[in-house]
């Protein structure tokens, strides 16, 4: 990643701040910092090489090529990375498929920490920002309205990322403009299930999009739920008609109990 020519001192500081944030993380689902070039131009952040590039472009280029278990495996990896960030008291603030990178083995890693911020050692802490652009389609309503970011606002973004993955990189809210998106969400609209998306996954998205941030699951719960689905893959093949209507949020719900027909190990071999 290169700092463009003609940068200001603030842009340089922000750029190097991103590198210093990345340097604190060590997790298989977080992009690894290899080094920083500051003595010569251009100023660069050097990370591990990810052969398949950004997740959104990768999915668009491979539309329909993966089975649902592989897609959920990608999501579980991203959730593991976000659980790690949350445990480290960091909020990403720009979680989206474009900011996840994919390696040759389909391992997905969270990247692009330009908007990331640390919170005090308090899981309920709020980071308030002033000014700057917000990626509206991926951002929780309270973060748009009051610029208040928490791990729960990252969870909202993860729900949109799930939708991107299950729709193979489709643009969230299609051709609606940002103002229409804000109004629709305020009125209760939520993205519909992508084609062939298992009901259990769309329900998880809806849980992530709860208006009240306290009603959203946390990343530990999301990761555990996706893990449970992968251990019981039959649950990913349930139809809408056979799914149970769930009024409670994820935190009060267990994945359906099904007989396993393949192990996570077999899935890993498959990909």
13 burial level (CB within 10 Å; 0-12, 13-18, 19+) = exposed
**Alpha carbons 49 and 33: distance in angstroms, whole number:** 10
Q: Is 98 annotated as a binding residue?
A: yes
DSSP 43-90: -EEEE---TT-BHHHHHHHTTT-S-HHHHHHHHHHHHHHHHHHHHTTE
Catalytic residue among 14, 56, 87, 94: 94
Q: Is 60 annotated as a binding residue?
A: no
264 burial level (CB within 10 Å; 0-12, 13-18, 19+) = middle
Write the CA distances from 151 to 97, 183, 195, 198, 208, integer angstroms: 17, 23, 29, 26, 11
**Alpha carbons 119 and 36: distance in angstroms, whole number:** 25
Write the CA distances from 44 to 15, 47, 214, 266, integer angstroms: 9, 10, 39, 40
**Alpha carbons 271 and 258: distance in angstroms, whole number:** 22
Q: Which helix (H) or strand (E) holds 137?
A: none
Q: Is 52 annotated as a binding residue?
A: no
Let me know if 94 is a catalytic residue: yes
Which CB contacts under 8 angstroms, 24+ apart, belong to 34-40? none
**Catalytic center residues:** 94
Q: What residue numbers does the annotated binding site for Mg(2+) cover?
A: 99, 112
């Amino acid at each position: 990643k290169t700092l463009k020519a003609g940068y200001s001192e603030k842009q340089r500081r922000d750029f190097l701040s991103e590198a210093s944030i990345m340097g604190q993380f060590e997790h298989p689902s977080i992009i690894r910092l290899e080094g920083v070039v500051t003595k010569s131009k251009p100023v660069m952040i050097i990370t591990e090489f990810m052969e398949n590039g950004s997740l959104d472009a990768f999915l668009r280029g491979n539309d329909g090529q993966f089975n649902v278990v592989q897609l959920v495996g990608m999501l579980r990896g991203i959730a593991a990375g976000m659980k790690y960030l949350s445990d480290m008291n960091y909020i990403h603030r720009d979680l989206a498929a474009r900011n996840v990178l994919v390696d040759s083995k389909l391992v997905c890693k969270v990247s692009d920490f330009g908007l990331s911020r640390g919170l005090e050692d308090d899981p309920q802490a709020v980071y308030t920002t002033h000014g700057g652009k917000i990626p509206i389609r991926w951002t929780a309503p309270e973060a748009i309205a009051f610029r208040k970011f928490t791990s729960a606002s990252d969870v909202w973004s993860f729900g949109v990322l799930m939708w991107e993955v299950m729709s193979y990189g489709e643009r969230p809210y299609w051709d609606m403009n940002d103002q229409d998106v804000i109004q629709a969400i305020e009125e209760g609209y939520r993205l519909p299930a992508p084609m062939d998306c298992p009901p259990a996954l769309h329900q998880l998205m809806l849980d992530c999009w709860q208006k009240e941030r306290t009603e959203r699951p946390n990343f530990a719960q999301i990761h555990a739920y996706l893990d449970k689905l992968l251990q019981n893959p039959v649950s990913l093949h349930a139809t809408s008609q056979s799914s149970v209507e769930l009024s409670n949020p994820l935190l009060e719900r267990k994945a359906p109990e099904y007989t396993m027909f393949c192990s996570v190990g077999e899935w890993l071999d498959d990909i």
